[in-house]
Amino acid sequence: MLPTLAELRSALNEGRATSLKLTNAALARIADPAGEGVRVFTKVYSGQARAAAQASDLMRGAGIARSAIDGLPVSIKDLFDVAGETTLAGSVALQGAPAAKEHAVIVRRLLAAGAVIVGRTNMTEFAYSGLGLNPHYGTPLNPWDRATGRIPGGSSSGAAVSVTDNMAVAAIGTDTGGSVRIPAALCGLTGFKPTARRVPLTGALPLATRLDSIGPLAASVACCAQLDAILAGDDAPLPTPARLRGMRLALPATIVQDGMDTRVAAAFTAAVSRLSAAGVLVEDLPIPEFDELASINATGGLSSAEAWTWHRDLIKRAGDSYDPRVLSRIQRGETMSAADLLELLQARQRWIAAVEQRIAGYDALLMPTVPMVAPTLAELADDKAYYRTNALILRNPTFINFLDGCALSLPCHAPGEAPVGLMLAAAGGRDRDLLSLGMAVEACLRVQ
């Protein structure tokens, strides 16, 4: 099992480790020619990371620890601004564009908390896919069944593999339609998508500002809660585990369980049984609004509309440099009219109100994060298979982005088996309640 932030913090406080040793070990794994580092990172901050680690060790020696992540190696997705650098977002089309004048808000908050930022992680170009493929910088391979060559999930692909391969103890990604939760699920990690307004987006290259959110991938729910508090600037006491017995979880009876492969179905069913045995009331709940989402987004959806607005001038100049599969999805927004967008925004507000009313009596929604285990890269070589698989993997997480909700994905598979994610989700603003519930669910599922 991966070390948690709490375990590493204890090692630092007790003198069993130093930030410099942890950072050097992470950098060595990134640089290992036999490892995934060349595909995981688009830029590595070796010198800055070592300097930050040494500073952390000096401050800790003086009895000063700035936060739960002080001195710990952390990676950031390649769409966050770092002062003096061009933010590429996994592309080559932006090479030569002006450098950022200041750090993204979340980068400033990480640095103020003492995080040792080891580098920028690879991603689906411009964050527009749930699969994690990148033809420009290579695709990081999923740690499960790496010899076969399986996808890591996206768009925060490098973020996930940086943690699974101990190149960072945690990673910061973004989630517009599942881009934190999908790689967490497929790679066996915990990922948290907060309510979109909880963490400032300033300095993050957008995909769809009405859907974008910033969240962590890490070893546990408690790790995600600690990171979320730093990213959100939340000084309140951290959430503590909820009492499971008597909790009411709604298992949507609409769409979310369709098409599950046998491994996901077995792991998810076993997890639900364990929760029920622990006194959780799991109830099937029809949510007909989930059936309506495809027709609501039929003209292209918010992601296409907003992405086209941001990218249209760049596409005119450098469209040939885009991943064609990403380009085709962005270009769907070109045909959307102002009337289409206004109707979509109005329909979304009605949809949110209806879903929130339907789930109001429950502590959270419960569903598989994605209905399949990680497919192989070879299976996605054909465009039809690529688009079909992408839509299926994005399906469940996207419901929660459109809801403007918050969600956790945590592992529910048995040790040694293919990674499977279980998703807990709630309406917007219930982040702390969801993290408390997630800690309790995690403890229940980890008991063997």
Q: Are residues 342 and 427 in the same domain?
A: yes
Q: Are residues 191 and 294 in the same domain?
A: no
Q: Are strands 248-252 and 364-368 parallel, antiparallel or unpaired?
A: parallel
CATH of the domain at 351: 3.90.1300.10
In a domain, 422, yes or no: yes
Write out pLDDT tens, residues 243-266.
999 999 999 999 999 999 999 999
Reported as type and span, the H/E element at residue 49 is: helix 46-61
CA 345 – CA 351 distance, rounded (Å) = 10
Tokens, residue 324: 């064609």
Over 80: is that where the pLDDT of 395 sits?
yes
In a domain, 242, yes or no: no
CA 302 – CA 207 distance, rounded (Å) = 9
Rounded mean pLDDT of 388-393? 98
Exposure string of 51-64, with b = 16+ CB inside 10 Å and e = fewer, is: ebbbbbbebbeeee
Count of domains observed in the chain: 2
Write out pLDDT tens, residues 321-344.
999 999 999 999 999 999 999 999
CA 194 – CA 233 distance, rounded (Å) = 13
In 10 A of CB 117, how many CB atoms?
21
Contacts of 272 (CB under 8 A, 6+ apart): 251, 282, 366
* pLDDT score of 227: 98
- Of the three residues 198, 232, 266, the one that is the final residue of a domain is 232
CA 52 – CA 64 distance, rounded (Å) = 14
The single residue listed with the structure tokens 């010198």 is: 47
Write out pLDDT tens, residues 400-435.
999 999 999 999 999 999 999 999 999 999 999 999
Q: Are residues 109 and 67 in the same domain?
A: yes
Write out pLDDT tens, residues 367-382.
999 999 999 999 999 9
Mean pLDDT (the chain) is: 97
Could you tell me what percent of the chain has a pLDDT over 90? 99
- As beta bridge partners, residue 193 has 407
Q: Are residues 200 and 346 in the same domain?
A: no
Q: Burial level of 241, CB count in 10 A (0-12/13-18/19+)?
A: middle
Q: Are residues 282 and 182 in the same domain?
A: no
Write out pLDDT tens, residues 43-55.
999 999 999 999 9
Q: Are residues 193 and 302 in the same domain?
A: no
- Residue 430: HSE in the Cβ half-sphere, 13 Å Cα cutoff: 23
In a domain, 240, yes or no: no
CA 228 – CA 350 distance, rounded (Å) = 29
Rounded mean pLDDT of 274-294? 98
- Of the three residues 207, 232, 257, the one that is the final residue of a domain is 232
Rounded mean pLDDT of 210-227? 98
* pLDDT score of 448: 54
Q: In terms of Cα–Cα distance, which of 139, 135, 136, 137 is closest to 160?
A: 139
The single residue listed with the structure tokens 């959780």 is: 280
Over 80: is that where the pLDDT of 310 sits?
yes
Query: Is 167 in a helix, a strand, or coil?
Result: coil
Rounded mean pLDDT of 148-169? 98
In a domain, 237, yes or no: no
Q: Are residues 384 and 359 in the same domain?
A: yes
In a domain, 365, yes or no: yes
Over 80: is that where the pLDDT of 80 sits?
yes
* pLDDT score of 217: 99
Q: Are residues 394 and 428 in the same domain?
A: yes
Q: In terms of Cα–Cα distance, which of 84, 77, 86 is closest to 123?
A: 77
Q: Are residues 264 and 359 in the same domain?
A: yes
Could you tell me what percent of the chain has a pLDDT over 70? 100
Phi, then psi, of 132 in degrees rounded to 5: 95, 10
Write out pLDDT tens, residues 191-205.
999 999 999 999 999
In a domain, 36, yes or no: yes
CA 156 – CA 244 distance, rounded (Å) = 31
In a domain, 241, yes or no: no
Q: Are residues 284 and 209 in the same domain?
A: no
Q: Are residues 217 and 318 in the same domain?
A: no
Rounded mean pLDDT of 125-154? 98
Q: Which domain holds residue 416?
A: 248-446
Q: Are residues 177 and 209 in the same domain?
A: yes
Contacts of 360 (CB under 8 A, 6+ apart): none
Question: Which amino acid is present at 412?
Answer: C
CA distances from 42 to 207, 374, 432 (A): 19, 23, 33
Q: Burial level of 34, CB count in 10 A (0-12/13-18/19+)?
A: exposed
Active site residues: 77, 155, 179
- Residue 59: HSE in the Cβ half-sphere, 13 Å Cα cutoff: 16
In a domain, 334, yes or no: yes
CA 221 – CA 408 distance, rounded (Å) = 8
- Of the three residues 185, 200, 232, the one that is the final residue of a domain is 232
CA distances from 308 to 266, 344, 373 (A): 40, 16, 31
User: Any idea what the Cα angle at residue 384 is, between residues 122 and 408, rounded to 5°?
Assistant: 45
CA 379 – CA 371 distance, rounded (Å) = 16
Exposure string of 266-276, with b = 16+ CB inside 10 Å and e = fewer, is: ebbeebbeebe
